[in-house]
Structure 1
């Protein structure tokens, strides 16, 4: 019996968030941008596409991020939620070391120089 490798996916709000996360990663992970909002039909497509993958939600610690997070919790409860410290508010502006520690806490490989 062969083992199927589970792919990891991180969902972020914007391109600057994606760039920040890619900067600290040490493993190949798909990163999907919602561009701040996501329609119900797009959410359904995502859920179908991401079935059997490890999905992580990493959004800003602000009102828009909270709304998006609530939508994912409601529509895609299997996803794991990663949180940045509220003092940084945005994924894109949080220090690399903070993003790395958040990702590492979810067993996602990060570049050791950010630890």
Structure 2
């Protein structure tokens, strides 16, 4: 039996964001939490680890999230950036249907009950 390599990777800020995403997705996707910040060493490791994978960035619509997004735009220019509506501010507190529609727009399979 061989393991299936996960080709899609979603980078979020925290564990509550990861939990929210796991609640709505239906396809295998690796979710990496930055815990709001990321060191240069960890960023270098991610660059090596995520080479040839589809990388998506989903961070909060606040100052900390925007700083993190700017860093990822510089270090991962090929990554796709997904945006939560500013009205919700945080991934973790956005309604499931909104998170599902954001993920679906990036061709990430989600549970149809959230659409």
Q: In structure 2, what is the Cα distance between the partners aligned to 1:70 and 1:42?
A: 16
SS of equivalent residue, structure 1 residue 57: strand
Q: Which residue of 2 aligns with 1:93?
A: 93
SS of equivalent residue, structure 1 residue 87: coil
Q: How far apart are residue 72 of structure 1 and its match?
A: 0.2
Q: How far apart are residue 6 of structure 1 and its match?
A: 6.9
Q: Summarize deviations over 1:44-77 as a string: whole Å, max 9, x none.
A: 1001000000000000000000000000001111
Runs (5+) with no aligned partner, structure 2: none
Q: In structure 1, what is the Cα distance between the partners aligned to 2:87 and 2:46?
A: 30
Q: Which residue of 2 aligns with 1:40?
A: 40
SS of equivalent residue, structure 2 residue 31: strand
Q: In structure 2, what is the Cα distance between the partners aligned to 1:39 and 1:76?
A: 15
Judge conservation of contact 1:10–1:30 (CA < 8 Å) in 2.
yes
Runs of 4+ that moved beyond 6 A: none
CA RMSD of aligned residues (A): 1.0
Number of residues of Structure 1 aligned to a counterpart in Structure 2: 111
Q: In structure 2, what is the Cα distance between the partners aligned to 1:112 and 1:23?
A: 12
Judge conservation of contact 1:84–1:102 (CA < 8 Å) in 2.
yes
Judge conservation of contact 2:6–2:30 (CA < 8 Å) in 1.
no
**Alpha carbons of structure 1 residues 52 and 6: separation in structure 2 relative to 1, 3 Å:** farther
